[in-house]
């Protein structure tokens, strides 16, 4: 029987994207850049493959759908990379679901939310995330997957929350 940590290593990483990210490349390219969500998905699959991982890549504009995906992740995934988008600043329910998942969570934002409007400076997700990446554009997803691999690889102890 495989070691539980080894079994977790074989599970995919959930890469979860929140509202309006389906409009990347079209929506405010001067703010969010010209990368599309399809391009970010390809980057995630390519990065994961290079690490010996697989990715379950999803996007929803609906808070409940995102929460359901996090609940599913408890048993089906090894960790979560999430760009909660607008729900970063508003959703206690998504934050609570991430805390209840008991998985490593990496929060990603394309822009530096601390250099934007004041209402974007607070993240409910950051308090339950193992790491936060912002302002690195699409590359932040590759960094998040690399860090999540380090956190969940059987040879590395999980970082404290």
84 is a domain residue? yes
157 is a domain residue? no
- Annotated catalytic residues are 32, 109
In the chain, count H helices and then E strands. Answer: 6, 5
Edge-to-edge strand ranges of the sheet holding 55-59: 55-59, 13-17, 79-83, 105-109, 131-134
The model's pLDDT over 54-64, given as tens digits with 9 standing for 90+, comes to: 999 999 999 99
**What is the rounded distance in angstroms from the CA atom of residue 161 to the CA atom of residue 138?**
25
100 is a domain residue? yes
81 is a domain residue? yes
- How many domains, in total, are found in the chain? 1
CATH of the domain at 121: 3.40.50.9100
Nearest to 137 by CA among 161, 115, 109: 109
The model's pLDDT over 121-133, given as tens digits with 9 standing for 90+, comes to: 789 999 999 999 9
The model's pLDDT over 65-118, given as tens digits with 9 standing for 90+, comes to: 999 999 999 999 999 999 999 999 899 999 999 999 999 999 999 988 878 777
Host domain of residue 29: 4-152
Q: Is the pLDDT of residue 158 over 60?
A: no
Run of H or E including 109? strand 105-109
């Amino acid at each position: 029987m495989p070691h539980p940590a080894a079994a977790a290593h074989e599970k995919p990483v959930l890469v979860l994207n929140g509202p309006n990210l389906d409009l990347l490349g079209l929506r405010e390219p001067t703010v969010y850049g010209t990368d599309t969500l399809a391009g970010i998905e390809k980057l995630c699959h390519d990065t994961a493959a290079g690490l010996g991982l697989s990715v379950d890549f999803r996007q929803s504009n609906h808070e409940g759908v995102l929460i359901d995906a996090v609940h599913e992740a408890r048993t089906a995934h090894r960790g979560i990379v999430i760009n909660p988008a607008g729900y970063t600043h508003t959703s206690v329910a998504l934050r609570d679901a991430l805390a209840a998942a008991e998985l490593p969570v990496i929060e990603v934002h394309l822009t530096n939310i601390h250099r934007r409007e004041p209402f974007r400076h607070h993240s409910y997700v950051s308090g339950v995330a193992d790491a936060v990446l912002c302002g690195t554009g699409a590359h932040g997803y590759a960094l998040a997957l690399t860090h999540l691999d380090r956190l969940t690889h059987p040879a590395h102890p999980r970082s404290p929350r």
